[in-house]
Amino acid sequence: MIGARVGRVWADLGLGSKGLIVVALPLAILLSGIGALHLSGRAEAEAEARVRLTFAIQRDIHEVHALLAEAASGVRGFRLTGRRAFLEPYVKAEALLPQTLDRLRRTAQDPEIRRRLRRVDALVVQKRDGLAQLAAMPGAGTAAGLEAPEVANALVANKAVLDALRAEIDAMQRRERELLEERQARADGERRRTWTLTAVMAGIGLMGGLAAAQLLFTGIVRRVRGLERDAERLERGEPLTLMDEAEDEIGRLARRLVQAGDLLRSREAALREGEERYRRVIEGVRDYGIFALDVDGRVVSWNTGAERIKGWTADEILGRHFSTFYPPETREETPGRLLDIARHEGRVEDEGWRVRRDGGRFWANVVITALRDDKGVLMGFSKVTRDVTERRMAEEALTHARAEAERASRAKSEFLSRMSHELRTPLTAILGFNQLLGMDRAMLSEDQRHAVDQIAKAGGHLLAMIEEVLDIARIEAGGHALTLDTIDIDPLIEDVRNLIAPQVQAARIEVRRSGDSDVRATADRRATVQILLNLLSNAVKYGSGGGVVTLNVVAQADGVLIEVIDEGSGVPPALVDRLFTPFDRLDAERWSGMEGSGLGLALSRGLAQAQGGDLIYRPRPDRPGAVFVLSLAAQPRMQGEDS
């Protein structure tokens, strides 16, 4: 149970953690071995130090024995010969013995050695005192001095002390030899343990490293081989079964591979379904001929629409060049040219005559698109053909009808122009004779003068209507001569107010000026005056008596607006669409007593549009009344003029 849990924890560890453990395990063993070697080395060094210390103690013990022996020989020689030179060993011993004994006291660690050393210290003191006493006795070098009882006693006592000292030193040396053997044996044992521990730790480290590496890399290789087998199954399109449940990188990669396989299969299924659906859609399209060409222009696919439009079946046309669909006069040039354009520009659209299987011709709209792979290599072309013969016939019929309408419009304009001239000639004569009659008003009766006035009034109205008809005809024919120039709006409005003043005074209407001042526009002055006179005349005729007509000027960035605002009843909403229709007098029953031809507003809008502006109508938002808005182009800004 514990082993399975440990195995699970090991499997879930990341590859980095596993690699760290594999590296750290031998490293820990190596560090442990180094530590053990260090400790063993220290023990070995301590053992060797003890051996060296034993050798030093033995050397010092020998030195004490040698110094005392040489000092005793020197003193005896001095007693025999009386020569002071024999005392040099004694003097040397007196100088070196304290240092050697002191060094022995510091270095000796064994209890037995230290006990014997204390006895040696006492014997050395006794021996030194005896030698000093013997050296100080008189009669050195004489027979009497040698035979003196005190000298003989001193020699015997010194010999006894020296023997006792020799015995202690021999005992110390034997103990030091024993200690030396023990310490050498211990040092050898520490050395053997060090080498044994080194070998064991090296073996453990090597085996542990090999075992960890085997555990890691064997598992990785096995699992990677499993991934390789999964990749091969994925390449063959076979389903994958999740086997590696570990939470490390390989386990996550295995799960991602399974997920990728599931996603790939689902996408392949969707792609196959989409391709089948697309094939069915293409096959089911009957109004468009959709087929594919190879890079040389040979047909490689064919749908039902292409068969219906062109007449060939798939078995009859596959593999043939698409120039088969072109008439003989364009077959050599057009197909190759269209493929070249599609090859270089990616797409080309063309219209022209095409040939059916039975030899009949139809007008086709054709779109050819170059097909390239992900690397941009040309794979072929798609071609969509649509039979637009009916549309072409309708366009030709429409073109013919438009030409007929234009011809009828020109005939109407020519008729109006000729009729206007024909009517104006006798009308001018009538008005001339009427003026002659008016010059003799004093000779005429009241009824005759009234008749003359009516003739003049009716003739003037008819002449004005003929002029408006001529203007309408010129505008429709595009022959109305306009001179566009920069004009000041304020003087123009003043001129219009002066011209309309008699009619305004008769109707007791006030014409007011409002809005922006010092405004200029680009327009034809005569045409603009004519438009404003017509609008003011209508405002006076259809406005309320005693009311106010406002001329409001609004300057804009792209033009100038002149609003003519009256206080009349306005235009009914149902009649607004007919407001600018020629010869259409709106609500004629209501305004039957008013003079008018129904041409004024149509002529005014035509003049406004002819000079780049417009004329529109809108009702007053605050009260009954009409607002006619004349828009004119703004004055062109001169270079360097401030904005």
Distance CA 321, CA 339 (A): 12
Q: Does the 9-209 domain belong in CATH 2.60.40.10? A: no
Parse the chain into domains and list their residue ranges: 9-209, 286-387, 394-460, 482-634
**Which residues, other chains included, contact 460 with Cβ-Cβ below 8 Å and sequence gap of 6+?**
431
Give the pLDDT band (50/70/90) at residue 74.
confident
Q: Are 134 and 158 in contact (CB under 8 A)?
A: yes
Distance CA 600, CA 465 (A): 9
* Structure tokens that stand for 405 in this block: 């309408």
Q: Considering the chain, what is the average pLDDT of its residues?
A: 76
286-387 shares the fold of 9-209:
no
Mean pLDDT of 583-596: 50
Name the CATH superfamily housing domain 482-634: Histidine kinase-like ATPase, C-terminal domain (3.30.565.10)
pLDDT, greater one: 290 or 598: 290
Mean pLDDT of 567-571: 80
Which of 449, 462, 631, 642 lies closest to 556 in space, CA to CA?
Answer: 631
Give the pLDDT band (50/70/90) at residue 468.
low
Question: Averaging pLDDT over each range in 221-230, 366-375, 445-454, which range is the top one?
Answer: 366-375
Q: Within 13 Å and on the Cβ side, how many CA atoms surround 578?
A: 12
**Which residues, other chains included, contact 529 with Cβ-Cβ below 8 Å and sequence gap of 6+?**
492, 495, 496, 499
C-alpha separations of 133 from 127, 151, 154 in Å: 10, 9, 8
pLDDT, greater one: 228 or 281: 228
What is the DSSP pairing of strand 548-556 with strand 510-515? parallel
Which amino acid, residue 410? Answer: R
Q: What is the pLDDT of residue 639?
A: 39
Residue 581 φ then ψ, to 5°:
-85, 125
Residue-wise over 570-604: b if at least 16 C-beta within 10 A, else e? bbeeeeeeebbebeebbeeeeeeeeebbbbbbbbb
Give the pLDDT band (50/70/90) at residue 591.
very low
Mean pLDDT of 233-248: 67
Q: What is the pLDDT of residue 213?
A: 65
Residue 520 φ then ψ, to 5°:
-125, 155
Using N-to-C axis directions, what is the helix angle for 111-136 and 88-107, rounded to 10°? 160
CATH architecture of 286-387: 2-Layer Sandwich (3.30)
Q: Are 32 and 24 in contact (CB under 8 A)?
A: no
Distance CA 643, CA 641 (A): 6
Residue-wise over 467-506: b if at least 16 C-beta within 10 A, else e? ebbbbbbbbbeeebebebeebebeebbeebbeebeeebee
pLDDT reading at 439 higher than 70: yes
* Structure tokens that stand for 35 in this block: 């530590």
Report DSSP state, residue 583: T
* Structure tokens that stand for 152 in this block: 């003989």
Distance CA 280, CA 277 (A): 5
